[in-house]
Amino acid sequence: MEEALKFDISDGIVTLSLNRPKTFNAFNMDIISPLKERLVSIAKDPEVMGVVITGEGKAFCAGGDLKWLSEYGKSRGEAFHALAAVYHQAILEIRRMPKPVVAAIVGMAAGGGFTLALACDFRVMEASAVLLQGYTTNGLSIDGGGTFMLPRLVGLARAMEIAVFDRPISADQALSWGLATEITDDGKSREKALEMIKKIIKRPLSSFAASKRLLGESFHTSLETELEKEREYLAQCAEHPNAREGMAAFLEKRKARFNL
């Protein structure tokens, strides 16, 4: 039986592929548990410099597997509670990851697939791909950090529109709203996501990690607190070999070589 999550590493970049194509990569524990475990190990692995998350077949991810959820445990509430506990840990690992995480979106990203894509640092959508919030149409509420990420990406009014009306969001619309970073031809999202990470890792990953952490935390801190955190991170970055190399390269008028 083929694994529900494919793992591949090349040139320091990991590709995690949701692999239940017959269900459009719908979530069950067979996908979510290894996804969380892989993200935990990747975060600590010095050989890994970036992550691409994508889906096999015709979809990125259709969200929770409602058939599996209806058969799990004593009640549907218990099933959703159990699955969300593991899924939310995966979301936290992505947001805490000191390395770039890019979603390569093919076909549909709906429900939990939608919020998984939002949790990534960047989203590459194929031209025919569609985002769909999905939860509220099925009588559910949004999980996976969607209520945290949506208003930060598109503003509160648009987040409410997405939550209430649940209209499909095309790639072009997603790009104009800030939900997509780039649009690529169909069949090219994985290639474009890898290309994006290769560009990022030519730059200092220590600076990337600090920027990701500071920007992510800025929404729930005061200006005074954020300024102090900026000062601390700046001092830490200044001691990193990347900063020494970057400043030396600037002074010597040469191209810097980072992350060595």
pLDDT in tens, 41-70: 999 999 999 999 999 999 999 999 988 888
Torsion of CA 83, 88, 90, 95, to 10 degrees: 170
- Specify the amino acid at residue 234: L
Q: What angle do CA 45, 191, 11 make, to 5 degrees?
A: 30
**pLDDT at residue 218, as a whole number:** 93
3-state secondary structure of 56: coil
From the options 1.10.12, 2.40.128, 2.60.120, 3.40.50, give the CATH code of 205-251: 1.10.12
Residue with tokens 């945290």: 148
**pLDDT at residue 1, as a whole number:** 52
**pLDDT at residue 75, as a whole number:** 86
Helix, strand, coil share (%) of the chain residues, nearest 5? 55, 15, 30
Residue with tokens 């949701």: 18
pTM over 0.85: yes
**pLDDT at residue 241, as a whole number:** 95
Encode pLDDT of 210-235 as tens digits: 999 999 999 889 999 999 999 999 99
* Residue 188 φ then ψ, to 5°: -115, 5
Same fold yes or no, 5-200 and 205-251? no
Question: So where are the chain's domains?
Answer: 5-200, 205-251
What's the fold here for domain 5-200?
A: 2-enoyl-CoA Hydratase; Chain A, domain 1 (3.90.226)
Tell me which residues of the chain have a pLDDT lower than 50.
none
Give the single-character DSSP code of 107.
Answer: S
